[in-house]
Structure 1
Amino acid sequence: MTLNVGAHVSISGSKTSGDDESPPSDGVDNAVWRQRNVGGNCGQIFTHSPQVWQSPDVEDDEAEAFRAESDTHDIGPWVIHTSYLVNLCTPKEGLREKSRESMQEEVEAAHKLGIPYVNVHLGAHTGAGVEQGLENAAAVIDSLDVPDDVTILIESDAGSGTKLGGDFEHLATVLELADTDLDICLDTAHAFAAGYDLSTPEGVADTLAELDDVVGLEHLKYVHLNDSKHECGTNKDEHAHIGDGHIGDEGFEAFLNHEAIRDVPLALETPTEDGRSYEWNIQHVKELRDEE
C-alpha cells in the first residue's frame, strides 16, 4: 500500500511569497498547496477557527477549486476536524443544540468539498455520568442529516477529567448506540496518554489487538499521528515530534508497519518548534515505514 501521510494544514492566508506558482485567493483551496508544500498526500483541515462558534462559509468556487486541486495532485482522503467547542456528551441542552448545529454545518461542508470524513471529540459529560454522556452523544449524532458520502469519525481522547473517549469501550458504545453509521479516528498521543502503551512493539500489538476486540479495526478509518511529551497513562495531551516523545521511534516504527495500520491515512498534528515542523515529521514517518 502507498503510504498516506499528511498534516493538519491551514486554509487561511496566501501561499508563501517567493514560490514559483501564483498565490491563490484566500480560501479552503489553500490547504492543497500547503499540503503539497510539506510533502503530504492526505490531511486535515478546520473550516473555520476552532475556538469560536462559526459557520464554515465555503464559497462554491472555493469548493470547486479544492476538489480540482486535490484530484490533480492526488491528495486525499481529507478529513474535517470540528470545532473544539463541540460537546456531544454534555447534559446542557443549549450546548448540545449548538454542537448539533455546528456538526450539521460541518457534514454539509464536507459534502460540498468532497471530503469523506468529519472528525469529532465526544466531549465531557460534566457530571452526568459516563452512561448518560455516551447516550447524549449518540442522540446528537442521530439527529443529524449526514450526506451519504460523508462519515463521522469519533476520535479517541486522552481521557482527562470527565472527557469521554479515552477508553476504547466509550468509542464502541457510541458506535453501538447510534443508528448512524460511524467509524473512528485513533490519536496516538491521546491513546498513549489514556494508558494504551504504544512505545514498544509488544505494546503496539496489544493496543491494536484490544482496539480490534473492543471496537473492530474495520472501523479505523484515520489516525492522528502524534508523539507525546508526557508518559503513558498521565491523561496529559501535549504533542511532540514523531520519535522525540515518550512513544519514541521504536513504538512508531512498530505502529507504522503493523498490518492494521499500513493502509490507514495518517494526519500529523505535531508542533512547530526546535526548527522543525510538518515537513520534518512527514519525512521521518517515511523513514520509519518499511518499503513494500
Structure 2
Amino acid sequence: MSADSDTLRIGAHESIAGGTDNAVDALVDDGGNCGQIFTHSPQVWQDPNIDGDEADRFRDLSDEHGVGPWVIHSSYLVNLCTPKEGLREKSIDSMQTEVDAADKLDIPYVNVHLGAHTGAGVEGGLDNAASALDELDVPDGVTVLVESDAGSGTKLGGDFEHLAAVLERSEQDLDVCLDTAHAFAAGYDLSTAEAVEETVAELDEVVGLEHLRCVHLNDSKHECGTNKDEHAHVGEGRIGEAGMRAFINHEDLRDVPLVLETPTEDGKSFAWNIERVRELRQ
C-alpha cells in the first residue's frame, strides 16, 4: 500500500435495505470510504421515503466514519432526452425528489443518465435533456452529474460531445460522472496506459476534467466499441489489469472519487474489488 493510499476515495453502490443509514455500515464493512445509493427501487416511479431521524442517522454515521462523498443514482426510468411530454414530466418530477433527498442527506451529487431520444434526433434529445434539467430547483450544495453511457440504440451520452453539449446548453451548474465500462463500450479505449492517456486527454479537451466529479469504476465484459453494457470485476474484464492500473493512477484522476458497480459473482464482492483497487493504486 502506497504512502498516499489513504487519500484514495474508493467505495461502492450500497443497498439501503432497512434504511439509508444501513448503506453506511455496509460501505464501512466493505472497506470503502465513499459510495452511492438509490433512494428507492430504480425500476419504479417512487418518491424517496426518508424521514428526519433516518436522515440524521445517515449523516451522523457518515461523519463518524469519515465516509464521503456520497452520490444518489436516479431512477432507471428517468429519460431526460425524451420527446414524450408525459415521460418528460415524470422524469423532471423524479429528479426533483432526488435532489431534495440529496439536500436532506447532505449528499453533494445526484447522478443521472441522459436517456434515449427515441426519434427526436441527437440534437433534439440533447436540447430536451438540457431544458428538462433547467426545470429543476436544485438546492445549494447539490450538483447534478450527467453520466457517460454505453451508447446503444438512441441513448445519448456515449460521446463525450453529448455530455459537453448538455453542460453548455443547460442553465444549471452541471458536472459529469464517467463510467469506465460505459466509455469503453462506447469506443473509448482504456485497456493500456497509452489508451488511458488518450481517452483522459480527450475527456479534458471536450468536457473539461474540472467537471469530472465522480467515476463509476467498472471493468467491461465486452470489447471496446461494442455498445454492450455489462460490468466485470476490476482488472478481470476487457479493460484488464493494465488499463485499470493506469486509470486508477492517472495523475489527473487521483483525487476523483471512485464508486464500484461491479457484479457480486464468482465469490467476489464489493470488498474484494475495493481491495483490488487499493492493490493497484501506486
TM-score by length of 1: 0.94
**CA shift for structure 1 position 209:** 0.2
Q: Aligned equivalents of 2:48 and 2:251: distance in 1?
A: 36
**CA shift for structure 1 position 259:** 1.0
Q: Aligned equivalents of 2:278 and 2:201: distance in 1?
A: 24
Alignment size in residue pairs: 277
Partner in structure 1 of residue 276 of structure 2: 284
Gaps of 5+ in 1: 13-25
Aligned runs of 1:1-292 on 2, under 5 Å? Answer: 2-12=7-17, 26-290=18-282
Q: Which amino acid aligns with 1:9?
A: E
**CA shift for structure 1 position 237:** 0.1
SS of equivalent to 2:246:
helix
SS of equivalent to 2:20:
coil
**CA shift for structure 1 position 260:** 1.3
Deviations along 1:221-274, one digit per CA (max 9) or x if unpaired, are 000000000000000000000011000000011001101110000000000111
Q: Which amino acid aligns with 1:206?
A: E
Deviations along 1:103-149, one digit per CA (max 9) or x if unpaired, are 00000000000000000000000011000000000001001000011
Deviations along 1:63-109, one digit per CA (max 9) or x if unpaired, are 00000000000000000000000000000000000000000000000
Q: Which amino acid aligns with 1:223?
A: V
Q: Aligned equivalents of 1:223 and 1:233: distance in 2?
A: 19
TM-score by length of 2: 0.98
Q: Aligned equivalents of 1:104 and 1:255: distance in 2?
A: 33
Q: Which amino acid aligns with 2:37?
A: I
**CA shift for structure 1 position 27:** 1.1
Q: Aligned equivalents of 2:246 and 2:256: distance in 1?
A: 14
SS of equivalent to 1:108:
helix
Q: Aligned equivalents of 2:247 and 2:20: distance in 1?
A: 31
Identity %: 74
Q: Aligned equivalents of 1:144 and 1:121: distance in 2?
A: 15
Q: Aligned equivalents of 1:197 and 1:47: distance in 2?
A: 32
CA-based RMSD: 0.5
